[in-house]
Structure formats: structure tokens, C-alpha cells
């Protein structure tokens, strides 16, 4: 009887270009397992929108495994404890998994090695990023902190290796461990069921491949269209990449294969790698501002009912700024928001409302289907001006002019139906043009007033 190997899935829910699967399958029988672990991440357990995605992605992964005469084992609890217990009971000598760099997963890997002892081994493989985080360094061997030199160094190592094919055969073990039922996990929202608009997505490896195919058809226009929310100019691959339903190497090779300039999109893929390198250096990047001067920043008191009311208005898309409201309503409806609008909405919360960036980060963590610890934290700290590589705080986005500049009229009309009958330029700022509908709120704060308040707040902190 050949000892089985355990394949530990986390954010790598695919069979193709899956180095951990290839290694496990080449050695003998495989026990694929996914553990819903809310204990190890603690306050960073997966948000509600991500759980919706996970439910459907796991269903797709199990179907793919069953087509190979295998299956997905589901367990809930502490990853290290469960994996060590299964390995001991079934005689598995190796547990294969892809490297993960969130601080809680690194802690879980350490704990698992301790529980396995000397006679069993955790074998980690690369494959979720273009290059292993921590491997792109300066000439002196230090990790990069700034994106542009990081990108230049990473580009010298591209293209990534050719993606591996799915193993033709995945042998089953002589004995399967017990498994939970997916429905038992109650991953879908029900009170209320706010995910009615999530049907725009097709989670799973097959859906990811289809999304890549769709994007490749217009990848050469990415640079000119990616900032225009009214057109389909972005890739919309972020949730598929986050859950590892497709590898970035696969995306890189498919997009590069169109034969024309696609550098701008390649740099967006590289930003994922940069964000992972950031959390590898600064594990608390999702909760602590990198720049010490912001420790004294006078964020408005979130315990105040007035501040909470403004935050709720931002969450619900009722700020009186159409481009901001359209983005926040798209987020609630679909679990995703256009990247340009994502920046505008984040900047509005931080600089117009002077609400701590961490409050917005937590809201996005719960409502984004692509909620990624590294990318979410890096993007919020970039907008807030608090990050290791970030926009200057004094560069304050003007949402009304941004809306006109990037031709967001149709986008606003789609997501803010109260303004659907307004033509350009009125739809961008109906209050200014004297055509504010009775059902749409006035601006929560004026732009000039908000800008001056933010600049005054920044001027008062040490080192500004």
C-alpha cells in the first residue's frame, strides 16, 4: 500500500499550473483538502463577499477533481491541527501546498511543521505569483520598497515559466478521511441575501479561463480604456487571481501572446507581486500606517454618531457625489468596483471625510469578492498617503472633475438610477447645475471645504 500525500488547498483553487498538485500526484495517491479556517486568521477571517465566491469555487474544484476520479475533502477548524491529525491517521508522509504570504498563513505553516515532527514534511511550492515574493531584490540583496524599481527588476526575470498542464491522473487513496458537506458551511448570505447581483461572475477554474479568453480579445486596448468606468476596459480577473483559479503565469503568457504592446497590463499583474512583497516586509501593513507621522493624524472620531452616519452614507452610495455613489453601489451589488472609481471612492473617504483609511479597508475586506490582504492594504495606504510607496496626502482627488475627465456619465446612470435621466455634463454634478432630483442627496460636504480641512489636518502633524 502506497502512502498518500495530502494536497492542501488555500487560495490556489485550480488543477492546472498547480505545482503542489503535480508534485503530490507524481508521488502516488492524493488526498485534496480545503479547510475553512476562521481560527488562524482571527479578525482577518474571510469576508462575506469572499465566502460567496469560495462556495462556488469549491463546488467547481470538487467537480474537476471528481472528473479525475478524485474528490475534495472539506474540513472546518484549525488548519495545522486538522492536517497533522489526518496525516497521522492515514500515514501520509508529505503535505504539499503552495506558498502563502499572509502573516496568518505563515504562522499556520510554522505551527503545522511543529505538529508534524521529524517523520512528516510540509512541502511548499511556488505558483501564485509571477516570481516568489522575497526573491526580487536589489543588488545588495535587500527587498524593494518602491514599486517602479521593483517592476524594472521583476521585468528582467520575465516571462515566468510556462504553465504546467493538469496531471492526466490523480490516484485516489485506499481510505478517504471524513468530509464536511459544503452546504453545512452556510457560506451564502441569507439575512439579507445581498448577493443578488453576483451572478455577473462565474467562479471556478473554467470561469477563470473563460474570463481570460474574454480579456485577451481586447487586451491591446487596456491602456486606453482601463480608466473609463463606462466601458469594459479592465480585465475583471482580480477575483479569479485572488482565489488562484488561474495562475498569473498563465495570464501573462496568454496576454503577451496577442503580439502587441501590453506592458500596462503586465505592470498591473506585477502590482500583485509588489503588494505581496510589502506584506512580507511589513506583516501588519493591513492595520498599521507605514509612515510614523500618521500616528498623530487627527482622523475624525469614529465613535461619533455624525461620523458614523457619514461613513454609512459612503457605504450606501449616498454622499451626493455621483461618481463615488456609483462605485459604492456597484460594490454592494456585484462585490467589485472599477479600479479608477475604487481609488476615487477611497480618496473621498480618507480626505473628504477624514475617516481613517482602516475603516474603509475593513469595509472593502467584507464586501469585495477580490478582497486580498496584500493588495487591499497596499492600495488603501497608497491612496491615503500613509504607505511605503504612496500618493502624497496633499494630492487630493477631485471626484467631480475626475468623473468628467474619465467620461463616467453612463456608469453613473447605470448605478445611480435617480440620475438616469440626466445628460452630460449635468449627471456629474447635478447640484451645481441646479437639477438635483428630490430622491438624490445633496453633497455631504463641499469639495473646497473638504480639501481645505484635509490640508489643515495634514499641516498639523509632525513631519508634514
Sheet hosting strand 73-76, strand order edge to edge:
73-76, 30-36, 5-9, 94-98, 121-125
**Residue 222: count of CB within 10 angstroms of its CB:** 20
What the block records as the C-alpha cell of 246 is 488561474
Residues belonging to the chain: 464
The dihedral built from the CA positions of residue 28, 29, 34 and 37, taken in this order, carries a sign that is negative
pLDDT at residue number 193: 87
pLDDT grade, residue 1 (50/70/90)? low
Is the pLDDT reported for residue 191 higher than 90? no
Q: Where are the domains of the chain?
A: 5-127, 129-160+205-281, 292-459
pLDDT tens-digit map of 111-162: 999 999 999 999 999 999 999 999 999 999 999 999 999 999 999 999 999 9
Asked which of 306-310, 364-368, 432-436, 458-462 is least confident by mean pLDDT, the reply is 458-462
**Residue closest to 440 by CA, chosen among 313, 265, 258, 264:** 313
CATH 3.40.50.2300 for the 5-127 domain, yes or no: no
462: pLDDT strictly greater than 80:
no
The whole-angstrom separation of Cα 314 and Cα 381 is: 19
- The per-residue pLDDT for 257 is 86
Residue 86 to residue 116: CA distance in whole angstroms = 11
The answer regarding whether domain 129-160+205-281 maps to CATH 1.25.40.80 reads: yes
Is residue 259 scored above 80 in pLDDT?
no
pLDDT of 400 > 80? The answer is yes
> Which parts of 28-133 fold into alpha helices (H)?
48-67, 79-90, 103-116
Average pLDDT over residues 247-269: 92
- Beta strand ranges found along 70-120 (DSSP E): 73-76, 94-98
pTM given for the model: 0.97
Average pLDDT over residues 404-426: 98
What percentage of the chain has pLDDT greater than the value 70? 99
CATH superfamily of 292-459: DNA Cyclobutane Dipyrimidine Photolyase, subunit A, domain 3 (1.10.579.10)
Q: What is the pLDDT of residue 190?
A: 87
Percent of the chain with pLDDT over 90: 95
pLDDT at 463 over 80: no
Q: Residue 173, SS3?
A: coil
Amino acid at each position: 500500500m502506497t502512502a498518500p500525500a495530502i494536497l492542501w488547498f488555500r487560495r490556489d483553487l485550480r488543477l492546472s499550473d498547480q505545482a503542489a498538485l503535480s508534485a503530490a500526484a507524481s508521488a502516488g495517491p492524493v488526498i485534496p483538502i480545503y479547510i475553512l479556517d476562521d481560527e488562524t486568521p482571527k479578525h482577518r477571517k474571510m469576508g462575506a463577499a469572499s465566502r460567496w465566491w469560495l462556495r462556488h469555487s469549491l463546488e467547481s474544484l470538487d467537480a474537476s477533481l471528481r472528473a479525475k476520479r478524485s474528490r475534495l475533502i472539506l474540513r472546518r477548524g484549525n488548519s495545522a491541527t486538522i492536517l497533522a491529525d489526518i496525516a497521522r491517521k492515514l500515514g501520509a508522509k508529505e503535505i504539499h501546498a503552495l506558498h502563502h504570504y499572509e502573516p496568518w498563513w505563515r504562522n499556520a505553516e510554522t505551527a503545522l511543521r511543529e505538529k508534524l515532527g521529524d517523520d512528516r514534511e510540509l512541502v511548499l511550492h511556488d505558483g501564485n505569483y509571477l516570481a516568489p515574493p522575497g526573491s526580487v531584490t536589489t543588488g545588495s540583496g535587500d527587498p524593494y520598497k518602491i514599486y517602479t524599481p521593483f517592476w524594472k527588476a521583476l521585468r528582467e526575470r520575465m516571462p515566468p515559466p510556462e504553465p504546467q498542464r493538469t496531471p492526466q491522473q490523480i490516484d485516489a487513496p485506499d481510505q478517504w478521511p471524513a468530509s464536511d458537506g459544503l452546504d453545512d458551511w452556510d457560506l451564502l448570505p441569507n439575512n439579507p441575501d445581498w448577493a443578488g447581483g453576483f451572478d455577473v461572475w462565474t467562479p471556478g477554474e473554467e470561469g477563470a479561463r473563460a474570463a481570460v479568453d474574454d480579456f485577451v480579445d481586447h487586451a491591446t486596448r487596456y491602456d486606453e480604456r482601463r480608466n473609463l468606468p463606462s466601458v469594459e476596459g479592465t480585465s475583471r480577473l482580480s477575483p479569479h487571481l485572488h482565489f488562484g483559479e488561474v495562475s498569473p503565469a498563465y495570464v501573462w503568457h496568454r496576454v503577451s501572446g496577442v503580439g502587441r504592446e501590453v506592458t500596462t497590463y503586465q505592470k498591473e499583474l506585477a502590482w500583485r507581486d509588489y503588494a505581496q512583497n510589502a506584506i512580507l516586509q511589513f506583516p501588519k501593513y493591513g492595520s498599521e500606517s507605514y509612515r510614523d507621522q500618521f500616528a498623530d493624524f487627527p482622523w475624525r472620531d469614529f465613535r461619533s454618531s455624525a461620523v458614523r452616519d457619514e461613513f454609512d452614507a459612503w457605504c450606501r452610495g449616498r454622499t451626493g457625489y455621483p461618481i463615488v455613489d456609483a462605485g459604492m453601489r456597484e460594490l454592494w451589488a456585484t462585490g467589485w468596483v472599477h479600479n479608477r472609481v475604487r481609488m476615487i471612492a477611497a480618496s473621498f473617504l480618507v480626505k473628504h471625510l477624514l475617516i481613517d483609511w482602516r475603516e474603509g479597508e475593513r469595509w472593502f475586506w467584507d464586501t469585495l469578492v477580490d478582497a486580498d490582504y496584500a493588495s487591499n492594504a497596499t492600495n488603501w495606504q497608497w491612496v491615503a498617503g500613509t504607505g511605503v510607496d504612496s500618493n502624497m496626502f496633499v494630492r487630493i482627488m477631485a471626484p467631480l472633475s475626475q468623473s468628467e475627465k474619465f467620461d463616467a456619465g453612463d456608469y453613473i446612470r447605470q448605478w445611480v438610477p435617480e440620475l438616469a435621466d440626466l445628460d452630460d455634463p449635468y449627471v456629474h454634478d447635478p447640484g451645481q447645475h441646479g437639477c438635483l432630483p428630490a430622491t438624490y442627496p445633496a453633497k455631504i460636504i463641499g469639495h473646497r471645504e473638504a480639501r481645505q480641512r484635509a490640508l489643515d489636518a495634514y499641516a498639523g502633524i509632525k513631519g508634514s
